[in-house]
Structure 1
Amino acid sequence: MLSVFLKLHLSVLIAGFTGLFGRLVSLDAFWIVFFRLLIGGAFVLAYFILLRKFKWLGLKGCINGMIAGAILSCHLILFYLAIKLSNVSIGVVCVSTIGFFVALIEPFVVRSKFSYTDVIYSLLAILGVLIIFGFDSRYRLGIAVGIICALFSAVYSIYSKRITNLYDNNSLICWQLIGGSLFMTILLPLYYLIEGQWSLYFSFSDAFYLLLAGIICTAALYLLQLQVLQKLSAFTVMLTYNLEPVYSIILAMILFNEASELNYSFYVGILFIIFSVGLKTTKSIHIENKAKTSS
């Protein structure tokens, strides 16, 4: 069991590292996502084909998986764009507002009871971002893009949750990555129309980091998550992943000295976000324990 928890925290650390590519790679957000999904998808697909675990999920299942992949692509583009417009710390903090959008959207999608406490707790995270937004004018565009990114992340989370229990998870991940790569390919003409050029000039270090993003931070991350979910509950994994932005910020401060780029408003804002996550975590633990007691 210890090895499973080590794998879980390793996967969270890898997930926390993904935001760093926004600064490590000189290419724009579109190309980072394009190569990350293409390389990661190729490795995951090859892995499951070799193990003979890649399956046709039926037309509806494959389309659902690819739609989820397209939504994931939009989230990732906005995520890296937010980092390019600000920095890693600001980007991951903005994405932490996902809980607010999930609390608003999920009841209408799954027709569950609307939770006012979830909305109130999530508003604390929004307040934290607004504090950063109001007192640090340098990163306002990045913050705005980061909040839109959180909205797409919430939509992806809700949509994936709906289809995960309907299909084989191994194959579903493959179809998501196929869908994401296909969606990015379809966007190529639009990218050229907006940019007026391909802007595809990268160094050896860019190529190395893109391989790292695809193989380790996409393929290996998904495979680790699958292994962990086979042994631990989705609830435990979800709570542990609350550490992801913490890992990202610590790594960014160590590697890029981002502490010098942030003023006091960032730290005040992040306290509100941490408090919000803590309240939601406490509520989730209470609900989980209550469910176990009643069963």
Structure 2
Amino acid sequence: MQNDKLKSYISLHLIVFIWGFTAILGALITITADAIVWYRMLLAAAFLFVFIIFKKKSFRVPLNSFLKLIFVGFLIAMHWITFFHAIHVSNVSITLSVFSLGAFFASILEPLFYGRKVLWYEVFFGVIIIAGLAMIMKVEVNYLSGMLYALVSIILGVLFTLMNGKLIQNHDATVISFYEFLAGVFFISIYFLFENKFTADFFVLSYNNWMLMIILASICTAYAFTASVKVMKKLSPYTVMLTTNLEPVYGIILAYFIIGGKEKMSFSFYIGAVIILITVILNAIIKHKVGKKVQPISEVNSDLM
């Protein structure tokens, strides 16, 4: 059991590193945020379709679960649209730093979803992370609009993470992700049809954009998203959300070396990032020591969603 949890932690950190690179790709791809998400979800769904066929998995899910997957797909689409838009109106570092609030929201919402008590240290760590974020925000006020879009994005991210934590108990992670991505494409397509965005130019991407989009859809989406759903069989959504706070650290470092000058931030910004990193490490240590006091998702009541 402990070995399974350790493997899940290691897998989760690899996923979070990949997500940090996702933000870099979003900054480098030169099309609008909603178009990025449409292509991303469509291509990722195609990759997963081939994988499911190859593995001879069943596409069947009960109607009740299917409707939930459609709703989660909508949340995911809106989460990614606001995420990439935040990057475009600010930068990678600012957007990812706001994502540190995810742990705080998860510490409040997860007990409501799973019927367990609020754990004092989860709220405490969430407050520390807010303090780290406050250090960032007080010196980077020029990026307020990007911070607000990122805030909306992370709230949506917490919600779909909690819902997927329930769905993974009864369904295959690959199938869950496939239907959610298709639902996201459907909702964005409806919007594009009303806005007449499906023009000939919409389907013309540069070679560079195509290459970046394929990487984004395959490694950073089809693989990373499905794997993140799978690890929730062993780890709680709160732990997933708190570990995701390493995404700013990974992403900021990558952005600095790949994108350069635009990503160079103030000294207070980096102090805030270090606070987030230390908080994630402390959470992992406490989770390991308390052991069974914090139930994995597979052991909590699954009738609440």
* TM-score strictly above 0.5: yes
In the TM superposition, what are the counterparts of 1:1-295 in structure 2 within 5 Å? Answer: 10-189=14-193, 192=195, 200=202, 202-222=205-225, 229=231, 233-234=234-235, 238=240, 243-258=246-261, 261-288=264-291
Q: What SS does the aligned partner of 1:167 have?
A: coil
Distance 1:103 1:63, change over 3 A: same
Distance 1:41 1:131, change over 3 A: same
Report if aligned partners of 2:101, 2:129 keep a CA contact under 8 Å in 1.
yes
How far apart, in 1, do the equivalents of 2:136 and 2:278 lie?
Answer: 15
How far apart, in 2, do the equivalents of 1:15 and 1:162 lie?
Answer: 22
Q: Which shifted more, 111-120 or 133-142?
A: 111-120
Q: Which shifted more, 203-212 or 254-263?
A: 254-263
How far apart, in 2, do the equivalents of 1:101 and 1:254 lie?
Answer: 31
Question: Per-residue deviation at 1:30?
Answer: 0.7
Question: Per-residue deviation at 1:225?
Answer: 5.4
Q: Which shifted more, 80-89 or 273-282?
A: 273-282
Report if aligned partners of 1:54, 1:174 keep a CA contact under 8 Å in 2.
no
Q: Which amino acid aligns with 1:61?
A: S
Q: Which shifted more, 264-273 or 247-256?
A: 264-273
Superposed CA deviations along residues 262-289 of structure 1, whole A, max 9, x for unmatched, are 1122113223322332332233222227
TM-score by length of 2: 0.81
Distance 1:241 1:260, change over 3 A: closer
Report if aligned partners of 2:27, 2:87 keep a CA contact under 8 Å in 1.
yes
Distance 1:126 1:59, change over 3 A: same
Report if aligned partners of 2:91, 2:262 keep a CA contact under 8 Å in 1.
no
Q: CA RMSD in A?
A: 3.2
Distance 1:182 1:287, change over 3 A: farther
Q: Which amino acid aligns with 1:52?
A: K
How far apart, in 1, do the equivalents of 2:151 and 2:14 lie?
Answer: 27
Q: Which amino acid aligns with 1:249?
A: I
Question: Per-residue deviation at 1:259?
Answer: 7.3
Q: Which amino acid aligns with 2:54?
A: L
How far apart, in 2, do the equivalents of 1:47 and 1:83 lie?
Answer: 31
Q: Which amino acid aligns with 1:171?
A: V
How far apart, in 1, do the equivalents of 2:104 and 2:24 lie?
Answer: 24
Fraction of identical pairs, as percent: 25
Unaligned runs of 5+ in 2: 296-305
Unaligned runs of 5+ in 1: none
Superposed CA deviations along residues 192-213 of structure 1, whole A, max 9, x for unmatched, are 28x9x99846422112211221
Aligned length: 286
Distance 1:272 1:39, change over 3 A: same
Report if aligned partners of 1:96, 1:273 keep a CA contact under 8 Å in 2.
yes
Question: Per-residue deviation at 1:49?
Answer: 2.0
How far apart, in 2, do the equivalents of 1:125 and 1:99 lie?
Answer: 8
Distance 1:247 1:291, change over 3 A: closer
How far apart, in 1, do the equivalents of 2:21 and 2:152 lie?
Answer: 21
How far apart, in 2, do the equivalents of 1:174 and 1:272 lie?
Answer: 36
Question: Per-residue deviation at 1:249?
Answer: 1.6
How far apart, in 2, do the equivalents of 1:93 and 1:240 lie?
Answer: 13
Superposed CA deviations along residues 39-81 of structure 1, whole A, max 9, x for unmatched, are 0111101210232203211111212222222111111111111
Question: Per-residue deviation at 1:34?
Answer: 0.8
Question: Per-residue deviation at 1:149?
Answer: 1.3
Report if aligned partners of 2:92, 2:263 keep a CA contact under 8 Å in 1.
no
Report if aligned partners of 1:54, 1:170 keep a CA contact under 8 Å in 2.
no
Question: Per-residue deviation at 1:187?
Answer: 2.5
Question: Per-residue deviation at 1:141?
Answer: 1.2
Q: Which amino acid aligns with 1:255?
A: I
